[in-house]
Structure formats: C-alpha cells, structure tokens
C-alpha cells in the first residue's frame, strides 16, 4: 500500500513506521508526509528519509474548497491507498473522509472511549487519566469517521498506570506501545481482509 502520514508534532510515530518499513515489519511505502505545521519535526524526518514532505494548512488558502481540492490532488498524485494520522491535530475535511472511507487510521494515546474527544490530545490525555485515578490506560488505533475519536476500533493495548507516574512518565510508557502497535495495525490491513459490522471491525 502507498501510505500518506499526517503529523503535526514531533513525529516519533512516523519514525517508528519508517523503521518498520526498513526492517521489513511492514511492506507498505510511505509516499508522502503532510503537516499542517511548518515547524513539525515530522517534515524533517520525512526529508531525511527522502520522503516527499508537504506543509499544507487551511491558512494558506482563501477558501476551504481550495484547501480540500489541493489536499485531494496531493493524495491522488502520490496514489495514496491509506492515510495514517500520527499525532495530527486537525480535523480531516469531510470530503477526504468520504473519499477515503475506512482507509484512514488514527492513533489515540488512551483506551477509547475513555479520555478522548475534542481537546484531549498530547499531555492532556495523560493528565486526565492520572486525575481520574485510572489504574490502566493504553493505546487505541481506530478508523477515522467524521467526528473526533469515534470511528471503529482496529487495535487496542493496555498500559499500566503507576502510583508515582507524572503525565510525562506515563506519556513515555504509552508512546513505546504506540510505536509497537501502529505498524501492527498497518500490517493487518496489508495482509488481511476486513469487514465492519456495526462498530466492530473483523479481520479474516
């Protein structure tokens, strides 16, 4: 599959997916990286790995339609089969979600449906987990629909919460698991067929 990774920040999930490609854990190619943030380290990581890297933000366009048209044009030009959101903080335009139905994955650093939704991203997720007193948290990979963090779940893995955790220590433990299971989820789409019944995703 040809993958387009969308990222806004540091890009450690992008790095782990690139690494998985190099070590043969996945067979897809990352053909394009897009960031809404020109200062995102993900763009540097892409360039260091000779992957086309594009800064694309709605702020660069007068009209939303022009932004969406450019977005779709990029995806078509690079023959993108699947879109991988890796710390992408913007909503995906509705038309793109519809054109890539069940072909967009997102990673969330908690066990959906807990500690998710608009405004819960980055350290805020881990702060919320600790403030609530949860004993476990985890990672969720899900398909993207037209809302925040509501699409059908593909993979989940739990991570223990320790009594002395800070948001930062918890984030670090969760990130290690993110780097492990995002490539696993991509591999599932490479090697298996899937069907969706209600909210349930089955791989056969």
| Residues whose CB is less than 8 angstroms from the CB of residue 108 and which lie 6 or more positions away in sequence, other chains included | 116, 125, 139, 140, 141, 142, 149
- 68 vs 120 by CB, closer to ligand GRF: 120
159 binds ligand GRF (CB under 6 A): no
Interface pick for ligand GRF out of 3, 5, 6, 12 (rule CB under 6 A): 12
CB of 129 to ligand GRF, least distance (A): 12
| SS3 track for 62-130 | CCHHHHHHHHHHHHHHCCCCEEEECCCCCCCCHHHHHHCCCCEEEEECCCCCCCCCCCCCCHHHHHHHH
As given in the structure block, the two tokens for residue 84 are 């991988």
- 21 vs 109 by CB, closer to ligand GRF: 109
149 binds ligand GRF (CB under 6 A): no
Interface pick for ligand GRF out of 3, 4, 6, 11 (rule CB under 6 A): 11
Catalytic residue among 55, 108, 126, 179: 108
109 binds ligand GRF (CB under 6 A): yes
Q: How many Å apart are CA 174 and CA 140, to the nearest integer?
A: 10
**Catalytic residue check, 108:** yes
Secondary structure of residue 158 in the 3-state scheme: strand
CB of 21 to ligand GRF, least distance (A): 16
Question: Scanning the structure block, which residue is given the tokens 């593909």?
Answer: 154
CB of 105 to ligand GRF, least distance (A): 11
107 binds ligand GRF (CB under 6 A): yes
Question: Catalytic residue positions?
Answer: 108
């Amino acid at each position: 599959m040809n993958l387009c990774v969308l990222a806004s920040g540091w890009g450690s999930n992008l790095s782990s997916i690139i690494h998985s490609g190099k070590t043969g854990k996945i067979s897809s190619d990352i053909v394009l990286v897009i960031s809404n943030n020109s200062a995102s380290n993900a763009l540097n990581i892409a360039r260091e790995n000779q992957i086309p890297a594009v800064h694309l933000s709605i702020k660069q366009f007068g009209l939303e339609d022009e932004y969406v048209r450019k977005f779709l044009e990029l995806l078509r030009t690079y023959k993108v089969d699947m879109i991988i959101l890796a710390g992408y903080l913007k909503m995906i335009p509705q038309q793109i979600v519809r054109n890539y139905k069940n072909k967009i994955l997102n990673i969330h650093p908690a066990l959906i449906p807990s500690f998710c939704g608009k405004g819960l991203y980055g350290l805020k997720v881990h702060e919320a987990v600790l403030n609530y007193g949860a004993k476990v948290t985890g990672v969720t990979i899900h398909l993207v629909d037209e809302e925040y963090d509501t699409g059908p779940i593909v993979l989940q893995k739990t991570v223990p919460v320790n009594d002395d955790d800070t948001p930062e220590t918890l984030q670090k433990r969760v990130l290690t698991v993110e780097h492990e299971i995002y490539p696993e989820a991509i591999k599932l789409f490479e090697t298996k067929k899937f069907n969706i019944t209600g909210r349930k995703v089955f791989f056969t």
